[in-house]
Structure 1
Amino acid sequence: MAPPSRSVAVLAWGSGEDGQLGMGRCDEKDWARCIGALDAYAVSAVVAGSRNSLAICDDGSLFTWGWNQRGTLGHPPETKTESSPAHVDALIGVKIVQAAIGGWHCLAVDDKGRAYAWGGNEYGQCGEEPERKEDGTRALRRDIPIPQRCALKLKVRQVAAGGTHSVVLTQEGHVWTWGQPWPPGDIKKISTPVRVQGLEQVSMIAVGAFHNLALSVDGILWAWGNNEYGQLGIGDTQPRSQPIRVEGLSNLSLVDIAAGGWHSAALTKEGEVARGESAAWGGAPGAQGVSAAGNKLREKGNRPRRSSCAGMEPAAGSVREWVCRRRRQHLVLAVASDARSWWSDGSKSRKYGGGGGREDEVRKDSKSQTRKKL
């Protein structure tokens, strides 16, 4: 195999009970370490789910690892865990450009705009109508362990996977969804993509467990779905079946959006200033990275709030990406070959991947190879 055309290190840390760290074992790592099995590949993107992970390479090949009891990894047979990255052979010859991990299903899109799905499908989230009990009251479990085409009539630009539903953004800027909707409704064909009305010229989407975000090209942020924790950012906790505009962000230039299980975040960039600021809302207290006591955060947390990245100055680097997973937010900052991350556990914000949470650079295992440029 030819060496990768560029030097890339894929790092992982945190919970590893399902092998989601990709290091050949199912244990936790406090320090960031290289995933050695990917050293020979030019990885261009990684995605972390709650129990499994995936990596996309420059040539479009896809690797998955972690929990696999529902066929979530895309390669049979279904096993409890796979602790090392394995190539998804069903997609050989297909150039994957973007992918997403949901509750227990995955989505991917190739360079021709074709979408693929695999994993759990009892809610039709993989695009195939689920079988039901004879009385029609409950869908029967039927996993799809091998990736198959979905949303066949759509030319897709981006995919996003929720807890039990799927969302895609088409190249025309339209948003389509299928699977279990929220609030749940009487939909006979839940596996059939339905266009989300009221959204035009959308530039990106983000999906939480049961809520959705869409950013339009004119900078307007829209939200719909579950709102139990104020994750829609509209000032209350009532669910919305149709997109509603998120107020309080109109004077900000949004460059990225993210949705955790029960909270949301947006990354802003003002003018030419080389630093990022963030707005976050919803979720458990502290999930926004904003310190507050008691119910004060809960009362204010259902609207966007700007939060600063402590210790982050323009000379040191800029916020590059804001990623939310489940109830936590994971902020990645990059400077040259250094990476820093912060996370919030509901009480205070701190860095994760540095062992004790000190303001140190994320270090690599001393036994790993020479430091590579990120």
Structure 2
Amino acid sequence: MEVQAPSAQPGTSLKLPLVPGGYVAAKPPFYQSLSPQLKAASLALGIEHAVLLSATGTVYTWGLGSHGELGHEVLTPEKEPKAVEALWGVPMSSVAAGGWHSACISAGGDLYVWGWNESGQLGLPSQAMRNRAKQEGPERDPSTAACEGEKEGEKEKDVFISIQAFPALLDVTESCEIDKVGCGSRHTAALTTTGDLYTWGWGEYGQLGHKDLISSDEPRRVEFFRERGLRAVDVACGAWNTFVAALEEEVSPPQNV
């Protein structure tokens, strides 16, 4: 709405009753129409970027892009919605945006992630997470050397991903599809079609729900719901927390023989 300028000296700000020392910006919110061919279905907002899902299932992104969160294979900004070409032809059902990372679910239940992976929020190998695990965990068993990239007589460098500038398919679980996904500032939560919750990324505020404050670059199932006979049906992430809607599992009555 229009705000009248204060009668005091120029440069002084309005005194707001609920915001001590606050101010009202003279510039009103702006409106910018989308392309007539682009029919928006849903929108997700990160710290410095936006992810839009069109009615046809196409994903568009725009914003800063310095952490690969736009998914255009470059780290340059986009001022207007641009289709993510790597997902072209694959209809999507939902999108989510974290601080500097993005995610979407295909109509077939596949999860795609891209952007910043400093805390393992993409579920991809993170050097910071692996270094911390080595420091805090027990000494490495020599029998696992082959699994960690070391072979007899030679050493192979581990591959870590700091920034994933284009969508990557993430296999959260082999047994079922992904139904919903939410992104926090540096963590991610996904629901499967069977009602299980998986979380990964930065967990030092307990936002992963694993009864600890451990961060992880690998999806882990939250056992809380299964232990109580609950089925998770929806998930939403704040910057540093996770909210889940759950229902009691229906138990079929015994059949008379």
Q: Same fold per TM (> 0.5)? A: yes
Does the C-alpha gap of structure 1 residues 89 and 29 become closer, same or farther in structure 2, counting only changes over 3 Å?
farther
Alignment match, 1:127: 123
Using the alignment, how far apart are the partners of 2:202 and 2:182 within structure 1?
14
For the residue of structure 2 that corresponds to 1:145, the secondary structure is strand
Contact kept, 8 Å, 1:64 with 1:85, in 2: the verdict is yes
Which of the pair is proportionally richer in strand? 1
Alignment match, 2:242: 212
Alignment of 1:58-207 (within 5 A): 58-79=55-76, 81-132=77-128, 142-153=162-173, 154-183=176-205, 187=214, 190-199=216-225, 200-207=230-237
Alignment match, 1:54: 51
Between the two proteins, the alignment pairs up a number of residues equal to 187
Please give the per-residue CA displacement for 1:126-162, whole angstroms capped at 9, x wherever unaligned: 111112497966xx87100010011342411101001
Shift of 1:212: 0.7
Using the alignment, how far apart are the partners of 1:55 and 1:29 within structure 2?
25
Alignment match, 1:41: 38
Gaps of 5+ in 1: 1-27, 219-374
Task: Give 4+ residue runs of structure 1 displaced > 3 Å after superposition.
Answer: 132-137, 182-188
Using the alignment, how far apart are the partners of 1:72 and 1:214 within structure 2?
25
Contact kept, 8 Å, 2:48 with 2:63, in 1: the verdict is yes
Does the C-alpha gap of structure 1 residues 29 and 109 become closer, same or farther in structure 2, counting only changes over 3 Å?
farther
For the residue of structure 1 that corresponds to 2:217, the secondary structure is coil
Please give the per-residue CA displacement for 1:61-97, whole angstroms capped at 9, x wherever unaligned: 1000001000000002111x21111110010121111
Using the alignment, how far apart are the partners of 1:82 and 1:167 within structure 2?
27
Contact kept, 8 Å, 1:114 with 1:152, in 2: the verdict is no
**Matched residue type, 2:237:** V
Between the aligned residues of both structures, percent identity stands at 26
For the residue of structure 2 that corresponds to 1:90, the secondary structure is helix
Using the alignment, how far apart are the partners of 1:166 and 1:175 within structure 2?
11
Using the alignment, how far apart are the partners of 2:196 and 2:243 within structure 1?
13
Using the alignment, how far apart are the partners of 1:216 and 1:157 within structure 2?
14
TM-score by length of 1: 0.46
Using the alignment, how far apart are the partners of 2:214 and 2:232 within structure 1?
25
Using the alignment, how far apart are the partners of 1:49 and 1:101 within structure 2?
5
Contact kept, 8 Å, 2:109 with 2:178, in 1: the verdict is yes
Contact kept, 8 Å, 2:120 with 2:202, in 1: the verdict is yes
Shift of 1:35: 2.9
Using the alignment, how far apart are the partners of 1:134 and 1:41 within structure 2?
44
Gaps of 5+ in 2: 1-25, 136-159, 207-211, 249-257
Contact kept, 8 Å, 1:182 with 1:210, in 2: the verdict is no
Using the alignment, how far apart are the partners of 1:42 and 1:78 within structure 2?
26
**Matched residue type, 1:203:** V
For the residue of structure 2 that corresponds to 1:63, the secondary structure is strand
Contact kept, 8 Å, 1:127 with 1:151, in 2: the verdict is no
**Matched residue type, 2:246:** S
Shift of 1:186: 7.3
Shift of 1:187: 4.9
**Matched residue type, 1:53:** A
Using CA pairs under 8 Å that are at least 6 residues apart, name the structure with larger relative contact order, 1 or 2: 2
Contact kept, 8 Å, 1:163 with 1:210, in 2: the verdict is yes
Does the C-alpha gap of structure 1 residues 201 and 87 become closer, same or farther in structure 2, counting only changes over 3 Å?
same
Contact kept, 8 Å, 2:46 with 2:101, in 1: the verdict is no
Alignment of 1:270-285 (within 5 A): none
Using the alignment, how far apart are the partners of 1:193 and 1:117 within structure 2?
13
